[in-house]
A and B are shown apart, each in its own frame.
Chain A
Amino acid sequence: MSFINYSSREINCKIVYYGPGLCGKTTNLQYVYRKTNPDQKGKLISLATETERTLFFDFLPLALGDIKGFKVRFHLYTVPGQVFYAASRKLILKGVDGVVFVADSQIERMEANMESLDDLKINLAEQGYDLDKLPYTVQFNKRDLPNVAPVENMNKLLNPRNIPCFEAVAVTGPGVFETLKNVAKQVLVELKKHY
């Protein structure tokens, strides 16, 4: 649910990074935070445990610039990936405008990826959303590791609709902005359809 403010001439949109535990959702946000100009970003907030596992969510507000005189702001959120935080995970999806699914490319994490994708669909449906109709991008993260599954296989398992997908190494950056840009673009195109 985007928020369009004619008074302050702002558009605010919410993008959620979803995926299994330790797939690199928070790392994506940290990279975006590091590489964005100070005047374009707010604080990166992480509600995490002492061992740096996300407990509730991470939050990063980005002000990218203007479109037709409206300031465009994206609020990036991550969900806690661990299975037992299911209740919290649902809450973050409220009012989402676009979803990035971050998949862990390691072969042994394929099952966790599929489980998380199913969980995403169920949780979206509970809020009245359909993943097939929402701006949505898939990222295959950790491509630098030795034991990764081939992209074709991952596409078959996690991306049967063949929507845009990006190979990434969130720790060092390749693919991170490409993913964000793609989902942001879809969100704005969607906005254009409705307003």
Chain B
Amino acid sequence: MSGSDLVMYEEEFGKIDEELQRLYIQTNAKVVFLVDKNGQLIASAGETHDIDTTSLASLTAGNIAATGGIARLLGEKEFTILFHEGEKDNIHISLIGQRIILVVIFDSRSSLGLVRLRVKKVSEALTRIFNDIAAKSEREKSEGKIDESPFAEISDEDIDNLFR
């Protein structure tokens, strides 16, 4: 396993959540969520109860991965924005700091222009937060705080219990 595992701490999660809530209100969106490039849902805001966010997260990441593949074939580094227009709902997907995917689902109560503008603003804030997380995670590793980690004590029995 590479050292690039994503570790999310309470404090940064709070900040991310705050940014997403603000974006959700400012864009008048239906749902806003953040996914990492590997398809793991990180956080969400809005009317998530009717939506299968786990599946949506994995498909969005697949979408970004496929688009990234196309970009490389064409000699582009990456296409950073994807937009899908539906009859009622639209989806705006953007890549933040090469690592995180921001998804905004909206209908006629909002507009593409508004979403693009707000997404651009929030992207800067989110990039900063994720840089902080990476730095913090590195620091904790080098300071040896990992010893206090709950995973250090995982026993074979714990693992076997998962499959009962």
**Residues of chain A at the chain B interface (Cβ within 8 Å):** 1-8, 11-12, 14, 42-43, 45, 47, 56-57, 59, 61, 64-65, 67-70, 72, 75, 77, 87-88, 90-92, 94-95, 97, 128-129, 134-135, 177, 181, 184-185, 188-192, 194-195
Number of interface residues of B (CB under 8 A): 42
A67-B2 contact in complex given A45-B55, A75-B39, C-beta closer than 8 Å: no
Q: Whole-angstrom distance from the CB of A173 to the nearest CB of chain B?
A: 14
The dominant DSSP class at the B interface is helix
Chain B residues closer than 8 Å to A77, beta-carbon distance: 58
Bound Cα distance A11, B40 (Å)? 10
Interface string of B43-74 (1 = CB under 8 A from A): 00000000010110011001001101100010
The winner among B3, B37, B62 for most chain A CB atoms within 10 A is B62
| CB-defined A-B contacts under 8 Å, sample of 12 | A1-B5, A1-B6, A3-B40, A4-B7, A14-B39, A57-B62, A65-B161, A70-B151, A75-B39, A94-B38, A188-B159, A195-B7
The dominant DSSP class at the A interface is mixed
Bound Cα distance A81, B62 (Å)? 17
Chain A residues closer than 8 Å to B149, beta-carbon distance: 195
Bound Cα distance A50, B24 (Å)? 37
B162 touches A65 (CB 8 A): yes
A12 touches B66 (CB 8 A): no
Other CB < 8 Å A-B pairs besides A2-B5, A56-B62, A188-B154, 18 of them?
Answer: A1-B6, A2-B1, A3-B8, A3-B42, A5-B8, A7-B8, A7-B10, A12-B40, A43-B55, A45-B55, A47-B62, A59-B59, A65-B161, A67-B154, A77-B58, A87-B69, A95-B38, A177-B163
